[in-house]
Structure 1
């Protein structure tokens, strides 16, 4: 099959998935508390525990992708996620929510790594990061569309509308699974070349570098949890500034992610990108803290917008460095489980992010922002040494397949999933 057609189908599937995610993640808290009558404390506990339990599936499902084929496993996982989504219509308390969320989190977190494995198997070395970046662009666009529909759902405040939205998300996931099966199959790893199912977990340099850089994913909790609370309680900036930050961030990602990702094709470039990300996010934290030092709403808003500029740089370089490091440092014929480790470490940081960021920002005010800045900087400190240590191993993909960056202009970024 023509590579352009393959990319088009990959992006279409990811776009449909992004729409469903934007719809669900914009309504789930209100749906579970108001429509399903689950107390907020019970909901938070069930979602948190279920999320942690679900992380345990990432590596085993990654191993399955190696032995059954990433397309087949990804399609199955996404369809299962759609079926599990339907179960949210019937949850009625802590235990049922915990059960459903555990399964939902398991297939959600594992799908991230399997999708990267599929792109790795389908694309040539010089186009893998570009396709991953294009997928993120498409996903952000359709995620925003799903969030827009969610506004109408929230405004209705009717049970039937909320249930319909949940079923629409389930349908979107089932459609994503079907679209995924339309791309070519990547052959599973031959039996005589298969590694032990714990190969990636025993690769300590890889686990360490993925665990360290995963802390940079706290940038998402910073934007979704820390900044809105900070604006509301400690600054004179209007509340709509938090919404503006999300819009500006999404737009910047759509414009720049493909271009920035070119700088992380080689391992050395990915290491540099992680340092740039850590520095930019640390600067962002200090600037956000400074927004509380003025009594002028205009100045406070201006300071927050400046901080958002640093946040955008940090997020762009974090995502590209993560792709470059995970693809370049994994072992040949063990791609699925290595990407499972990558997805699992990031998902763990994302799971603890809201609680950590909120406790620091709300509990310690400016000092909390400084601690966050230090955490970002510290996360990048061992990356260089770990990357050099890991790169010396001859079994790694980056050692066997040196990848030269190709000049990719922004014109190659598709405007949406229907027209890549």
Structure 2
């Protein structure tokens, strides 16, 4: 009996979502466990900080902003440690420290203790992403890295949804004991992450850590203008995050006739589509030029979604709600392309032996989104209405269009530097051992 092409396509899509046995599956388990703890704590902590510790809204906001800044300051130094010792050891220490720090929230009684703990947690959490990316670079072959990263993002969303659901139960209880339970479960999740990291293959990290060329060493990633520019452009394209979680909810209740409850539907739509299609949408980002083209596509799509959202101002709900759904679907397509393109550039462009440092530099783009994004998108979209959405669309479009030429220049500079150091570009990747399956 002839096979059904549609059935085969669905089977292929479903099989791509499941990481292969070995390191990829262990990383997937690690990601789900961490995301569950992250979703649990993030979804409930702000309320518990006020009701249990007794902090004001201003203290919570200031403390979390200061913590975010502390996290940004340490990403590059910790990345350099990964280049020296391999990413597995710093990542293991980071997870172990997070286990202790989250448990320590049970003893916090005032603002000073909250500020110190939030800053230390931010340093560990912010550095964990570039460390995992450096680990992905070392453990997997070049043609596997983007696909594995996409699988990790899909399973992260699964874990985050699970954690948020558990947080709902904790918030329903609302007691000090419930807050302690949230903190201790989050601590346990990160302790499990430390154990999983410890069991990951060590020899691959050790081999990669000493695999840098012995000639002239590459300059600091912070002085690599092209790479820093690409990191910041990716951060601008990542404004989809505050658009979805900050600007759009405020836009719905202040400028549209749509019910506020539609925001929950939009968030659920985003999460489900990312889980289902991130892996499929990442095909083509296995090279730097392909990744840059995906970022250009992301800019086009995100600009388009801004224009769709602008149309929903002051029109009947029966029209506004479908347009908000369409705009969110377009935003998700841009989000999927941005994620894949950023992985591709961050994995392909760093020089050999500097993957950890360059991953730390690339994380500065995300820091830009986290610190400036909520204010900028809210000031434009909510503050200026349709005109603000159009300005935001232009910014996102220009950011996407700038990525391909800048990526070509960065790749050419990398090849020239490798040639000057006597190491052909890509030689180290070819020498990497095949990961165990």
* TM-score, reference length from structure 1: 0.91
Name which of 55, 76, 79 aligns with 2:72. 55
2:222 alignment partner, SS class:
coil
* Offset, 1:389: 1.0
Residue 268 of structure 1: aligned partner? 289
Residue 62 of structure 2: aligned partner? 45
Structure 1 residue 210 and structure 2 residue 231: aligned?
Answer: yes
Residue 135 of structure 1: aligned partner? 152
Residue 11 of structure 1: aligned partner? 28
Q: Deviations over 1:337-380 (max 9, x none)?
A: 01111123212322322222223233222222222212211222
Structure 1 residue 78 and structure 2 residue 78: aligned?
Answer: no
Q: Deviations over 1:246-279 (max 9, x none)?
A: 1111111111111111111111111111111111
5+ residue gaps, structure 1, are 405-419
1:236 alignment partner, SS class:
coil
* Offset, 1:193: 4.2
- How many Å separate the matches in 1 of 2:319 and 2:301? 21
Aligned residues: 403
Judging changes above 3 Å, is the alpha-carbon distance between structure 1 residues 197 and 264 closer, same or farther for their aligned structure 2 residues? closer
Name which of 246, 249, 259 aligns with 2:267. 246
Structure 1 residue 370 and structure 2 residue 387: aligned?
Answer: no
Structure 1 residue 100 and structure 2 residue 100: aligned?
Answer: no
Structure 1 residue 225 and structure 2 residue 246: aligned?
Answer: yes
> Given that residues 212 and 383 in structure 1 are in contact (C-alpha distance below 8 angstroms), is that contact kept between their aligned partners in structure 2?
yes
> Given that residues 216 and 376 in structure 1 are in contact (C-alpha distance below 8 angstroms), is that contact kept between their aligned partners in structure 2?
yes
Judging changes above 3 Å, is the alpha-carbon distance between structure 1 residues 377 and 74 closer, same or farther for their aligned structure 2 residues? same
Judging changes above 3 Å, is the alpha-carbon distance between structure 1 residues 350 and 401 closer, same or farther for their aligned structure 2 residues? farther
Range 111-120 or range 357-366, more displaced: 357-366
Name which of 165, 183, 190 aligns with 1:166. 183
Structure whose alpha-carbon radius of gyration is higher: 2
Residue 51 of structure 2: aligned partner? 34
Q: Deviations over 1:263-311 (max 9, x none)?
A: 11111111111111111111111111211131x2221110100101110
* Offset, 1:197: 9.4
> Given that residues 197 and 337 in structure 1 are in contact (C-alpha distance below 8 angstroms), is that contact kept between their aligned partners in structure 2?
no
* Offset, 1:87: 2.7
2:209 alignment partner, SS class:
coil
Name which of 323, 329, 333 aligns with 2:343. 323
Alignment of 1:183-202 (within 5 A): 183-185=200-202, 186-187=205-206, 189-190=209-210, 193=213, 199-202=220-223
* TM-score, reference length from structure 2: 0.87
Residue 346 of structure 1: aligned partner? 366
> Given that residues 391 and 399 in structure 1 are in contact (C-alpha distance below 8 angstroms), is that contact kept between their aligned partners in structure 2?
no
1:126 alignment partner, SS class:
coil
1:57 alignment partner, SS class:
helix
Alignment of 1:371-410 (within 5 A): 371-393=391-413, 394=415, 395=417, 399-400=425-426
1:264 alignment partner, SS class:
coil
Judging changes above 3 Å, is the alpha-carbon distance between structure 1 residues 398 and 288 closer, same or farther for their aligned structure 2 residues? farther
- How many Å separate the matches in 1 of 2:20 and 2:86? 19
Judging changes above 3 Å, is the alpha-carbon distance between structure 1 residues 94 and 364 closer, same or farther for their aligned structure 2 residues? farther
* Offset, 1:192: 7.4
Q: Deviations over 1:6-32 (max 9, x none)?
A: 111111111100101111110121111
- How many Å separate the matches in 2 of 1:119 and 1:375? 31
Q: Deviations over 1:55-109 (max 9, x none)?
A: 1110111111111121111111111122222233333333332222211111111
Residue 407 of structure 1: aligned partner? none
5+ residue gaps, structure 2, are 1-18, 431-436
- How many Å separate the matches in 2 of 1:402 and 1:256? 31
Range 388-397 or range 61-70, more displaced: 388-397
- How many Å separate the matches in 1 of 2:357 and 2:173? 43
- How many Å separate the matches in 2 of 1:114 and 1:60? 11
> Given that residues 282 and 376 in structure 1 are in contact (C-alpha distance below 8 angstroms), is that contact kept between their aligned partners in structure 2?
yes
